[in-house]
Amino acid sequence: MEKKCVALMSGGVDSALAAKLMLDQGIEVYGLYLSMSWGCCEKEKAQASAQQLGIPLMVLGVGDAYLDVIRSPKYGYGSGMNPCVDCRIYMFRIAKRYMEEVGAGFIVTGEVLGQRPMSQRRQPLETIEADSGLEGLLLRPLSAQRLEPTLPERLGVVDRARLLGLEGRGRHEQIARARTEGITGYSTPAGGCLLTDGHFAAKTKDLFAHVERPTTKDMELLTLGRHFRTRGGTKIILGRNELENLMLEGHAQDGYTCLRPKFAAPSALIAGTWTEDARGLAVSLIVQHTKPEKLPAATLEFWVTPPPVAAANGGAATDAAGPSGQRTGGGVNGSPWSVDRAAVRMAADGAVTDVTQPAEAPVST
């Protein structure tokens, strides 16, 4: 077996220490960071750790196929929508392919026995190893003394006596060792998977309930704004500050239409079919979440991005404004559109549902 391994890097102290233990034994280490566009571990921290350790780091996206794991996990969920066991299996299968590509002999991870209640107990650790096709090839250096020897240990590629026997949720020993080894800049141990967060989990459940084949873009949008679901199934996302307004506009493309006010108010991204009803509800939500003194007295003006396209049959444009609104020309930021404030009707009870379920009061801009 080659004295070469692939170490999964999360940006945390555990994965950095696991990689360092391999380097200390003269083993060549290839770092691997598995990226989720909606955020999980911190890529910048993983890159910093790899640079500090002097190892190469490959960054790979998990892809849309990972969403099937979230939708229907074989081993169930944790406290939210987090399929921890299935997630680890999926990621280790990717790591296995990378291991074979670089000619490494085994996989290293910073998992600690008993640190996480769902995926880091003894039985789940064994299940993950078996289902990912890495039996005997998945080394957990921080808890190795408490686990069965792996193949690299049995072959003498790794000196088992120089590995650790950590167990439990605390990280005091890891932090102390990191200080001794000069490992700094790692992410806060309290950080973790967004799918364990109650608010994010609620939005994820809503997404899977209404979209048959969601994408990583849909998941990324869950990190932005306040989310509403119309009675017809369309989603409307309101920005909570100017940065989110700009980011929502940046997500505008076919199937995702941004309504950006020309006055101080939240932008709205409509995920789904651009219809008069959806547009009307979006305008209503914008008005409801804008301070009264910021609302124009007569005409509400917006940019619509991307600019609406005329119907294929040569009929009216897909955003035909109707008797109370007008659309004129085009623009660098989209198509200008306006509506009389007096014509805006507040959304009726039940017309939209707030799926964000925030603990804080609504934010107005």
User: Which residues make up the CATH 3.40.50.620 domain(s) of the chain?
Assistant: 4-193
Q: Is 50 exceeded by the pLDDT of residue 358?
A: no
pLDDT tens for each residue of 277-320: 999 999 999 999 999 999 999 999 999 998 765 433 333 333 43
DSSP 79: S
Higher-confidence position of 189 and 253: 253
| 203 vs 359: which has the higher pLDDT | 203
The DSSP annotation for 177-242 comes to: HHHHHT---PPPTT---GGGSHHHHHHHHHHHHH-SS--HHHHHHTTSSEEEEETTS-EEEE-SSH
> Helices 84-102 and 122-131 meet at what angle, rounded to 10?
50
Q: What is the length of the chain?
A: 365
Under a CB-based contact definition with an 8 Å cutoff, are residues 38 and 64 in contact?
no
Domain 4-193 adopts which CATH fold? Rossmann fold (3.40.50)
User: What mean pLDDT, rounded, does the chain reach?
Assistant: 87
pLDDT at residue 308 in the model: 60
The pLDDT value given to residue 333: 57
pLDDT at 362 over 60: no
In this predicted structure, what is the pLDDT of residue 120?
Answer: 81
23, 71 contact by CB (below 8 A): no
To the nearest whole percent, how much of the chain has pLDDT over 90?
67
Percentages helix, strand, coil for the chain (3-state, rounded to 5) are 35, 20, 45
**E strand spans, the chain:** 4-8, 28-35, 57-61, 106-108, 138-139, 226-230, 235-238, 256-261, 268-271, 299-305, 325-327, 335-340, 352-354
Question: pLDDT digits over 84-129, tens only?
Answer: 999 999 999 999 999 999 999 999 999 999 887 778 888 999 999 9
